[in-house]
Amino acid sequence: MLNKDSKIYVAGHHGLVGSAIWNNLLSRGYHNLVGRSHKELDLTDQVAVRSFFDEERPEAVVLAAAFVGGIMANSLYRADFIMQNMKMQCNVISEAYAHGVKKLLFLGSTCIYPKNAPQPMKEDCLLTSPLEYTNEEYAIAKIAGLKMCESYNLQYGTNYIAVMPTNLYGPNDNFHLENSHVMPAMMRKVYLAKLMHDDNWTAIRRDMDKRPVEGIDGSADNAAIEQVLAKYGIYNNKVVLWGTGTPLREFLWSEDMADASVHVLLNVDFSDIIGIEKYSSVHFGAATDGAVDRNHSAGRGGAIPSLGEIRNCHINVGTGKELTIRELSQLVVKTVGFEGTVEFDASKPDGTMRKLIDVSKLHSLGWTHKVEIEDGVQRLFDWYQQSLQA
């Protein structure tokens, strides 16, 4: 059981979700938090991760760090998406176990589910048919991560929980056009197209200085800025978006995701998920000297025939609500105050056509979302504009 003095390591605490989890923990009175930037700690470096755990010895770990991006980034950097994520997960989870961490929360993604999974997607549809090709590597890495948590629990009696959030958006979102997700990319494109129509080059240059595109910042001349923005479908009073606009997507405000994550971290144990009381009263391998007995594996659910097969122990986190990409664009257009045109390029990929998750397990564990999409889009645009002034 964690208390207000427990040392909690949040990996990825500067990111979209990690920063929100950090702030949520602080708001609940958990002040003994540990974070390292990527420059301070490269999670793909096994020796560096081990040294960090030797030094800090956290009681709990939130693994929110990941190598992420949208369809374009997933297509261009396939090797990076599987290797970087696998290295980070293996290093953090193995060192957490070696150093006796009491509780670990692993954050994945609902892209783990098959491309043609029945909708809404329940946790038990995992690995039932092929994945969406455009994000296959990232999905495989995240599946491996949740299976690591599940397997450590079954073999060593640990208490590692995996949560799979739907599409997230919110403060500290990534608005860089080359590798951002659908909502922030769409919002920035619409905003810049509006500024071009308004001939507001001061604001355009401020935006480009804050987040250069392919090395082009606000110091470039108008023609160079227009040329690079056109590559991303941004024109004077017109925006061109990828795909047909028909795919359905579910979106969750990142601070809601953080609240759900902290709720699970503090209140949900592995035994709650698999429905077995006193699954493991001792976290085997949690030796105070960092040594572990890898042959001692009480609590091995998979080794007890009467329990059957224990799998799909992860938890979906979302709203259970969806809208089309076209409807999202209309909401963004209204929020930004854009009066131009939005076109869809059907020659570009749509990705998975529908990705709605079943959140009944999460609801049964005592949490539901609070921020609806209309309010969330306005909040995101407000944050984005404020970020340009910083």
- Among 253, 261, 283, which Cα is nearest to 62's? 261
pLDDT tens-digit series, residues 280-326: 443 433 433 444 444 444 444 444 545 678 999 999 999 999 999 99
In order of 177, 201, 293, 313, 329, the CA distances from 198 in angstroms are 21, 8, 67, 52, 20
- Give the pLDDT confidence of 315-335 residue by residue, as tens digits: 999 999 999 999 999 999 999
pTM score: 0.86
User: pLDDT truncated to tens, each residue of the chain (390 aa)?
Assistant: 899 999 999 999 998 899 999 999 999 999 999 999 999 999 999 999 999 999 999 999 999 998 766 666 666 768 988 999 999 999 999 999 999 999 999 999 998 999 899 999 999 999 999 998 888 999 999 999 999 999 999 999 999 999 999 999 999 888 998 877 889 999 999 999 999 999 999 999 999 999 999 999 999 999 999 999 999 999 999 999 999 999 999 999 999 999 999 999 999 999 999 875 544 443 433 433 444 444 444 444 444 545 678 999 999 999 999 999 999 999 999 999 999 999 999 999 887 788 899 999 999 999 999 999 999 999 999 999 999 997
Instruction: Report which residue type is found at 10.
Output: V
Q: At residue 317, what are phi and psi to the nearest 5 degrees?
A: -130, 115
What's the token pair of residue 146? 């949740």
Catalytic, 384? Answer: no
**Bridge-based pairing state of the strands 238-242 and 341-345:** parallel
- SS3 per-residue string spanning 106-166: EECCHHHCCCCCCCCECHHHCCCCCCCHHHHHHHHHHHHHHHHHHHHHHHHCCCEEEEEEC
Catalytic residue among 138, 152, 279, 384, which? 138
How far is residue 60's CA from residue 34's CA, in Å, rounded to a whole number?
10
